[in-house]
Structure 1
Amino acid sequence: MQEIPFYSMSDSNTTDYTNPSIFILLGIPGLEVAHVWISIPFCTMYIIAILGNFTILFIVKIEPSFHGPMYYFLCMLAVNDLVMSTSILPKMLAIFWFNSREINFSDCLTQMYIIHCFSAVESGIFVSMALDRYMDICDPLRHSTILTNAVIAKIGLAVLLRSGILMLPHLFLARQWPYCRTNIIPHSFCQHIAVVNLACADIHVSSYYCLSVALSVTGLDVFFITMSYIQILKAIFSLPTKDAHLKTFQTCGSHLCVILASYIPALFSYLTLRFGQNVALHFHVLVANMYLLVPPC
Structure 2
Amino acid sequence: MQNEAKHKAGFVSIIGKPNVGKSTLMNALVGEKLSIATPKAQTTRHRVTGILNGDDYQIIYQDTPGILEPKYELHKRMMHYVQQALEDADILLIVVEPHEQWEESALVDYLTHTAQPIIVAINKADTSEQAKLAQAVEYWESRLPNAKAVIPVSALYHFNLDTLLSALLSYLPEHPPYFDKEQISDQSERFFAAEIIREKIFLLYREEIPYSCDVQIFSFKEKEHIIHIQADIIVERESQRKILIGKGGSALKQVGVAARKELEAFLGKKVYLELHVKVIKNWRRQERWLERLGYKKP
Q: Give the structure-1-normalised TM-score.
A: 0.23
Q: Give the structure-2-normalised TM-score.
A: 0.23
More strand by share: 2
Which structure: larger Rg? 1
